[in-house]
Structure 1
């Protein structure tokens, strides 16, 4: 057995398989042990149990009866994904816990959806939630969390365990595939983001929207297609879904919350009444990602997100301009936030489209520095920024 990629949990998986009597070999395809001496020292005893193939060597795959790797690994050989491997392990170790598990994946909206699920279900149930606000969202992270909760004797105290997972889902009772806004390439162009559809087999019940149902081949026995909600007011955000009116408070801004909510309402309606959902939804606040605040006569909307892409930025600007006619938009942030880097050339084209419409735009951060090579705009420092009118800050970062 060959397990690939220490970066994304190969060592943890190797430990699991060793317990079952197997002798896995690990390929450090991205050279984590060369780059991270602290990790190497901290895990030296565990690492000593396994043969490690370094980054600069290519394994002879024919020597292994089974190869296990993250779905994004740039390999042409047939392999079992980490999503499927973790699913098999937790199905054997924690079969009763799977009935409590809710997993969320998609290109956008994963964190918001998990936060919404936790917020609504916590009204009546004891919920554990892990998403990108808490750290890594790899499938192996789910296994590690279940193991830790089991060791502490806490697995049984939760009614629901909610996980955000990148590029697919693992064994669970319910799963949400929020969207595939951009089928960006992964694995060196060998696969696309739509590969996460293949992992839906690991969930007993799957929620998708009408677009996904009509655009991709979805073969699942318990597929729940979520209808498109109707936006009634863009700010404060109000919408109609299944002939019921729902609304958020003024701290929530952006159309994407409506679509995310429709998934969550569908799922939570199995456990809560619509009236309970309505009351709870109006109290919802998204921490760390979205912030709406008043500064004198001005409204400041901050959209801080590591996974902001072109469509998300376009939607954010469009929503802002509908509500605030003469505001300023600040666009910027950092590189290296996620596996999916932003296309600077296409973002510059998008910005030029808004400039032609008379929108005032300023740039910030490393993303802004690269954009400035393509668009002639003022650069600002976001931490010391002086707000002079209604402002939308779009910043691609874990923290601002």
Structure 2
């Protein structure tokens, strides 16, 4: 009707069902602003009408979500875990962050994995966060680890490479879904430049073995994996000079994964490291204090490293690093990550691009 207007209901919120519902309620209040509470009240009502509305208000207080009239069901899937299935998979739990406005946490959210008939879980996560479940569900758990030999699946050796990492994987006392116990060794070569990538490979390998898939099929499938465009992959950016970009783009990327990504670069003099991202991405916002300390320590130990911070996250990191920057390390922030990448290319450098993307930024993933 020509009177439409766009209103930002709330800035910098994480994408969770609770926040989506709050946004809907805010929209309803703005659409009918006569009263600051919901449902709408009118002080001009007579006594009988006020009593009727009082009943409505009481009903609303008991169940504030009952009258949303929004034809949509909202389901939330916790990062690092699959839904209930023949095999439930929990890749890891790096930080036990709070959820549901502080009423619960990641540990409880991910605990549902143990409802599956068979469970694949990182050994360190199992020990730290689920010691009781480890004993209670021991007959259906298969664990994996980079190097802990007590896990059902672990790496005896790993030879990291940007394009093709080789690892010798040992599996023992592994329980298949058809009731068998299997033991063996499998050589794996695939795209897994960092330790956090190898953990994903181990999760997939453990799951495949539990399903009864043979070693050769697993080897062939993993050897053909070259990364996921817009998530973790390597691509050429300057064929003439042989320059490449390693992209780590992830809505839920955390400090530990960023550390692993940076540490996987051996010839750091030939790289620009570009770190940045958006806020309001997931319920697990990044630990900026921890990341700032890591970057500061890294630059102190590698003074010749080329690092550019970008976008909202980069700006905040710049302030925090400068606050602890007694040696006046050079910290550069460039708002547009495209410009940061151009600088690297102009200086004939490869790029490690670590970006915490917003879900709406589909082009980055």
TM-score for the superposition, normalised by structure 1: 0.58
Counterpart position of 1:160: none
Query: 1:208 maps to what in 2?
Result: 121
Given the alignment of the two structures, is residue 281 of structure 1 paired with residue 235 of structure 2, yes or no?
A: no
SS in 1 for 2:309: strand
- 3-state SS of the aligned residue for 2:246? strand
SS of the residue corresponding to residue 159 of structure 2 reads: strand
| Equivalent of 2:317 in 346, 351, 371 | 371
For residues 108-257 of structure 1, what are the structure 2 equivalents within 5 Å?
Answer: 140=75, 165-166=78-79, 170-215=83-128, 216-217=130-131, 218=133, 219-220=136-137, 221-226=139-144, 227-235=153-161, 236-242=164-170, 243-249=185-191, 252-257=192-197
TM-aligned CA distance change 1:139 to 1:205, over 3 Å = farther
Partner of 1:395: 355
Distance 1:325 1:225 in 2: 38
Give distance in 1, aligned partners of 2:270 and 2:20.
52
Q: Taking structure 1 as reference, are residues 167 and 31 closer, same or farther at Cα in structure 2, changes over 3 Å only? A: farther
Partner of 2:273: 329
> In the alignment, is the contact (CA less than 8 A) between 2:168 and 2:187 conserved in 1?
yes
SS of residue matched to 1:140? coil
How far does residue 319 in structure 1 lie from its aligned partner after superposition?
Answer: 1.0
Q: Gapped runs of 5+ residues in structure 2?
A: 1-14, 30-54, 67-72, 145-152, 171-184, 323-330
Distance apart, 1:202 and its partner CA: 2.5
Change (3 A) 1:350 1:339: same
Instruction: Label 1:223 to 1:265 Cα distance change in 2 as closer, same or farther (>3 A).
Output: same
Deviation at 1:214, TM superposition (A): 2.2
| Alpha-carbon displacement from aligned partner over 1:280-313 (angstroms, at most 9, x marks no partner) | 2111132320121233233321111111111111
Alpha carbons 2:16, 2:282 under 8 Å: kept: no
Distance 1:267 1:335, change over 3 A: same
What secondary structure, in the 3-state scheme, does the structure 1 residue paired with 2:263 have? helix
1:304-319 alignment, distance < 5 Å: 304-319=249-264
Contact 2:88/2:114 (CA < 8 Å) preserved in 1? no
CA distance in 1, matches of 2:58, 2:232: 42
Q: Secondary structure at the match of 1:341?
A: coil
Q: How far does residue 372 in structure 1 lie from its aligned partner after superposition?
A: 2.3
Output the aligned Cα RMSD.
Answer: 3.6
Matched positions, count: 266
Quick check: 2:80–2:90 contact (8 Å CA) kept in 1?
Answer: no
- Tell me which residue corresponds to 1:348: 292
Counterparts of 2:351 and 2:114 in 1: how far apart (Å)? 43
Match of 1:263 in 2: 203
SS at match of 2:198: helix
Give per-residue Cα distances to partners, 1:6-25, cap 9 Å, x unaligned.
Answer: x8679xxxxxxxxxxxxxxx
Going from structure 1 to structure 2, the CA distance change for 1:190 and 1:365 (only over 3 Å counts) comes to same
Task: Determine helix, strand or coil for the equivalent of 1:188.
Answer: helix
